Amino acid sequence: MVEVVLEKVSRKFGGFVAVDDVDLAVRRGEFVTLLGASGCGKTTTLRMVAGLERATSGRISIDGEIVEDAERNIHAPAERRRLGMVFQSYAIWPHMSVFGNVAYPLQIRRRPKAEIATKVAAALRLVEMDRFVDRPATALSGGQQQRVAIARALVFEPTVLLLDEPLSNLDARLRAQTGDEFRALQKRLNIATLYVTHDQSEAMALSDRVVVMHGGRALQIGPPEDLYRRPASAAVASFFGAPNLLAARVTACQRDGDCFRLSLDGETWSGGGCAARDFAVGEPALAIVRPENIRWGDAPSGAAVWKGEVQASVFRGATRSLHIATASGLLRVEAPALASFAVGAQTQFWTGEEGVWVVPPDHASGS
């Protein structure tokens, strides 16, 4: 069952294209995240779904009903779309109490008083704010405001929830905890959720699927693990962590189930790798090697091997980040924190076929 469908949705501000041909479907109970750097069009996309912004082309339907169709000039106003929304600033009305804020959607719908009372209480219990019913909204902390905003968005039982960077105004500790709690709540209510963030770890931890956006376009859509392990391009890969990008040439390519096994020739190295598409022999390619997949010491045969000098070794608590100067350039390596590397030491690093993901070079991938 599909709740929200975007078909070739674009939004132009004057000549500037803020959202460019986005296709997306959010299924019932699914948690989909729009991820991208600031200014890439996430908020605009979300606001078009909400009905607060008009699309300049494309179609949006919610629950099978077309709410936005630029070609046919259809635009259902925000209040008719029956979506819950949490704003980045939370938009808690300062002239009302917590109860007043959460009861508002029900009052607008002219529900009986008794029903309002029980539903507000239930919604506040969901976000563990039931103790604060009578607080004036101005006397709430950021985290509490965020919970009230969620309760307000949920109280009228919408089937879709939209959230615009709801955690960005919280401090780091609260952010992780609140995110996990919200994800648990979302699963329990089984509500389709479209979520906006610029924080990749947040996106990965919470989402069923992530939409990586850049310059108004959706670069890739998929489950977090897929995006991390099988990115379609170097741009997507660079969103998650800081992978090593190494230029190489394909020397052999053969299909294996749903992926392709390749042999690569780099500048000073050669080895195996995997890719999502077929490569011709001799075609240039980009090898993506995650720093945490790099081992050191004796390499098994067939592995890609780099020799180099340890330039920097930074202790990060759980891990240790190394910078290795190799003949093919700088190599970043994540090692266990307790492994000891002397700066200046010559060491051999390697990774097996499963640690090398191959994508077309940037100009060919069209991103």
Partner 1 sequence: MSAVDERRSGPGALASLRLRYSRTFGMAALIALLAFLSLYPVSMLLFGSFHTTPPGVAGAFDLAGYREVFTSETGLVLLNTVGISLAKTIPSLALAALLAWIVARTDTPARGVLEALVTLPFFIPPILTAMAWGMLGNPQVGAVNQAWRWITGSQAALFNVYSYGGVVWHMMQYSTPFLFLFIVEAFRAMDPSLEEASRMCGASQGQTLRRITLTLMLPALTTGFLLSFIRGLENFESPLFFGTPVKIQVVTTLIYDSINQRSVPEYEFATAMSFAVLALMCLLVFWQWRLLGARSFQTVTGKAYAPRLIKLGPWRWATFAICVLFFVVAVVLPVGQLLAGSMFRFFGFYSWDMLTLDHWTEAFDNSDIRRGFLNTLALGLAGATLTMILGGIVAYVSVRTRWQGRRIVDILAWLPWMMPGMVLGVGFLWGFALLPGPVSIYGTIWALLIAYVALGTPLSTRVMSSSYHQLAYDLEECARVHGAGFWRTLWSIVVALSWPSFAVGWVLTFFGIMRELSASILLYSAGSEVLSVVLLRLWGNGQSEVVSVVGLCTMALVLLFRWAQARFLARAVATG
Binding residues (CB under 6 A) for ligand ADP: these are 13, 18, 36, 38-44
Pair of tokens at residue 264:
């690569």
By CB under 8 A, which span of 71-79, 176-184, 237-245, 290-298 interacts with partner 1? 71-79
CB of 94 or CB of 302, closer to partner 1 = 94
Strands 209-214 and 31-35: parallel
Q: Could you say which DSSP state residue 36 is in?
A: -
| Chain position carrying tokens 């307000």 | 152
Provide, rounded to whole angstroms, the least separation between the CB of residue 220 and ligand ADP: 16
By CB under 8 A, which span of 60-68, 79-87, 173-181, 295-303 interacts with partner 1? 79-87
CB of 42 or CB of 290, closer to ligand ADP = 42
- Say how many residues touch partner 1, by CB under 8 A: 27
Pair of tokens at residue 362:
């940037």
| Chain position carrying tokens 């770890």 | 201
Provide, rounded to whole angstroms, the least separation between the CB of residue 132 and ligand ADP: 30
Q: Are 262 and 279 in contact (CB under 8 A)?
A: yes
The amino acid sitting at 274 is C
78 part of the interface to partner 1, by CB under 8 A: yes
Provide, rounded to whole angstroms, the least separation between the CB of residue 10 and ligand ADP: 12
Cα–Cα distances (Å) from 184 to 106, 132, 189, 207, in that order, read: 25, 22, 9, 11
CB of 43 or CB of 178, closer to Mg ion = 43
41 binds, among partner 1, ligand ADP, Mg ion, none (CB under 5 to 8 A by kind): ligand ADP
CB of 41 or CB of 179, closer to ligand ADP = 41
CB of 43 or CB of 326, closer to ligand ADP = 43
Q: Are 161 and 180 in contact (CB under 8 A)?
A: no
Rounded CA-CA distance 180/221 in Å is: 22
Phi, psi angle pair for 45, to nearest 5°: -60, -45
CB of 38 or CB of 254, closer to ligand ADP = 38
CA nearest 219: which of 237, 204, 192? 237
43 part of the interface to Mg ion, by CB under 5 A: yes
Q: Could you say which DSSP state residue 123 is in?
A: H
153 binds, among ligand ADP, Mg ion, partner 1, none (CB under 5 to 8 A by kind): partner 1
* Nearest residue to Mg ion on Cβ basis: 43
Site string for Mg ion, 152-171 (x = CB under 5 A): --------------------
Cα–Cα distances (Å) from 220 to 19, 35, 96, 213, in that order, read: 15, 10, 42, 8
Among 36, 105, 266, 271, interactor with partner 1 by CB under 8 A: 105
Rounded CA-CA distance 164/253 in Å is: 43
* Runs of H (alpha helix) within the chain: 42-50, 98-108, 113-126, 142-154, 172-189, 200-206, 224-229, 234-239, 362-365
Helices (H) and strands (E) in the chain, counts: 9, 21
CB of 99 or CB of 240, closer to ligand ADP = 240
39 binds, among ligand ADP, partner 1, Mg ion, none (CB under 5 to 8 A by kind): ligand ADP
Among 13, 23, 65, 91, interactor with partner 1 by CB under 8 A: 91
CA nearest 272: which of 282, 281, 280, 262? 262
By CB under 5 A, which span of 26-34, 43-51, 91-99, 290-298 interacts with Mg ion? 43-51
Site string for partner 1, 19-58 (x = CB under 8 A): -------------------------------xxx------
Binding site for partner 1 (CB under 8 A): 50-52, 77-79, 82-85, 87-89, 91, 93-95, 104-105, 108-109, 136, 138, 149, 152-153, 156
